[in-house]
Structure 1
Amino acid sequence: MIFTFKHILPKRYIALTLWPVIILKDEKLRCDPVLLNHEKIHLKQQLELLILPFYVLYLGEWLFRLCLYGDLHKAYKNISFEREAYQNETDMNYLQKRRAWSFLSYLRADV
């Protein structure tokens, strides 16, 4: 399901995925296949971690990386879930060939 809510998302964000919903800031974003693929990758990650553990791990990794880098944006960009989604968002077949737990391979390297 995809919903559009202009005022829910923080200023810097254009989309957010909260199982089973993708929230977009603007209706026009429904036509952005790369953005939607990025968010669908997050849906897959959330499902394979049984949803709630995904959010715990996501927040924990963000806090760890925030302490590591001291920069909100750099911490966000280096979360393994985000790294996987950003790296594969242009591959429209990625979800069909993606292996379970693929985000684990993105834990080490930094952006």
Structure 2
Amino acid sequence: MILVFKHFFYKNYVGLSLWPFIFLKSNSLKADTVLINHEKIHLRQQQELLLLPFYVLYITEWLLRAIFYLDSYRAYQNISFEREAYVNENQLDYLSHRKPFSFIKYLCR
């Protein structure tokens, strides 16, 4: 389910997945198939990790990378979950052939 909340987002962020919802900054973004695919990849990651472990791992990885890079945005960009989603967001059929726990191969890249 896709919901729109204009004032929910910080700066350049336009989408967010909190299983089972995708939140978007504006209604026009519903037509952005690449963004929607990116967020659906996150929904799959959340589903396979049973939600709570996903959020714990996401935040932990972000914190460690923020300390390493001394840059919160660069840390965000390098979270394994984000890397998988960004690399594959243009492949609109990615989820049909994605193997479970595929984000793991993006941990050390």
Q: What TM-score, normalized to structure 1?
A: 0.97
* Aligned ranges 1:19-38 → 2 under 5 Å: 19-38=19-38
Which blocks of at least 5 consecutive residues in structure 1 are unaligned? Answer: none
SS in 2 for 1:3: strand
Partner of residue 99, structure 2: 99
**C-alpha distance in 2 between matches for 1:11 and 1:75:** 16
**C-alpha distance in 2 between matches for 1:16 and 1:85:** 12
What amino acid is aligned across from residue 98 of structure 2 in structure 1?
A: R
What amino acid is aligned across from residue 78 of structure 1 in structure 2?
A: N
Which blocks of at least 5 consecutive residues in structure 2 are unaligned? Answer: none
Partner of residue 74, structure 2: 74
* Aligned ranges 1:8-19 → 2 under 5 Å: 8-19=8-19
Partner of residue 62, structure 1: 62
Q: What TM-score, normalized to structure 2?
A: 0.98
1:38-90 deviation per Cα after TM superposition (whole angstroms, max 9, x unaligned): 00000000000001110000000000000110011110000000000000000
Moved >2 Å (runs of 4+): none
Aligned residues: 109
**C-alpha distance in 2 between matches for 1:81 and 1:9:** 19
Task: Name the % identity.
Answer: 58
